[in-house]
Every structure is written in structure tokens, then in C-alpha cells.
Amino acid sequence: MSGGTVTVGEAARLTGVSAKMIRWYEARGLLPPAARSAAGYRHYGEADIRTLQFVRRARDLGFDVEAIGELLALWHDRDRPSAAVKAIAQSRIAELRRRIAALEGMARSLERLAEDCCGDGRPECPILDDLAAGEGKPVKSG
């Protein structure tokens, strides 16, 4: 793409962001409103494509829409303090570490349950019993 504009479909192809998500990002203010053709079709320029690539990479790293908006504002601010960018990244790292710990805990719980299950032809199954009990706590009757 050199100097011209592209349709939403071509922008999607160039960035790996679906046309639906491009419209959604535009509605959320992550992307400025697209230029429109006489027929009302959206057209995107090089700056829009770079912004979509930025948003796509940020999403790939797990940033939420709010954080992406903050990062975009910092990206466009040439006088930005890099400390602000680093703080957003460190916050995301901390959240990822919390999620990883939670997933590892789930894996350990499932491993214990799978070890307790005979996995044979009998109907007794501690995995199903645990799921039926809810939240790993035995059900107390009336």
C-alpha cells in the first residue's frame, strides 16, 4: 500500500484484523472514523493500517481495550514518558502471572482428580463427584 486507501476488507487482509473487529475498534475510538466513499464505503489509509497493526499486536499480548487506548495515546504523543508505557506493560505482566497461577492451580486440581479416578468400567468417578459438589467443596445435605 503506497499513498492510497483500501477498503475494510483489504485492511482486514493487510492487518489480520477482521472487518467486524475493525468496525468495532472504530466504534470504541481506537481507530479514527474511516473516510467514506461517495457510496458510503469505509476507506483506510496507511496511518489507519499502522494503527490496526498496533492494536492487533497489543491484543496478541493480551492488553484490554482500555489499555490499548492508553498505549495508542502514548504512541501518538512524541513527548510521552516511557515510564507510563512501562507501567502499563508491568500491570499486564502482573495480571498474566495471576492468570498463569490460577491455571496452574486448576491443572493441579484436575491432576489430583484424574489420579483418584480408576478410569475403568465402574461407574464411580471422583471427577464427576467433585464437579457435582461444586467448587471442590462437598455438598452438605439439609
Would you list the domain boundaries of the chain? 1-62, 81-135
Q: What is the rounded average pLDDT for all residues in the chain?
A: 91
Q: How far apart are CA 34 and CA 83, in angstroms?
A: 32
Assess whether pLDDT exceeds 50 at residue 28. Answer: yes
Global confidence as pTM:
0.77
Q: How far apart are CA 73 and CA 99, in angstroms?
A: 27
Q: Of 35, 17, 34, whose CA–CA distance to 26 is shortest?
A: 34
- Going by pLDDT thresholds of 50, 70 and 90, the confidence category of residue 140 is low
Q: pLDDT of 92-120, one tens digit each?
A: 999 999 999 999 999 999 999 999 998 88
Which alpha helices (H) appear in 117-141, and where do they start and end? 126-133
If you write DSSP's letter for every residue of 22-91 in order, what string do you get? HHHHHHTTSSPPPEE-TT--EEE-HHHHHHHHHHHHHHHTT--HHHHHHHHHHHH-TT--HHHHHHHHHH
Which CATH code, of 3.40.462.10, 3.40.50.300, 3.50.50.60, 1.10.1660.10, is assigned to 1-62? Answer: 1.10.1660.10
Beta-bridged to residue 6, according to DSSP, are: 44
- Going by pLDDT thresholds of 50, 70 and 90, the confidence category of residue 139 is very low
Q: Which are the contacts of 53, defined by CB distance < 8 A and separation ≥ 6?
A: 15
- Going by pLDDT thresholds of 50, 70 and 90, the confidence category of residue 122 is confident
Beta-bridged to residue 43, according to DSSP, are: 7, 35
Please list, residue by residue across 63-80, b when 16 or more beta carbons sit within 10 angstroms of its beta carbon and e when fewer do. beeebbbbbbebeeeeee
Q: pLDDT of 70-98, one tens digit each?
A: 999 999 999 999 999 999 999 999 999 99
Assess whether pLDDT exceeds 60 at residue 123. Answer: yes
Residue with cell 498505549: 71
pLDDT score for 134: 84
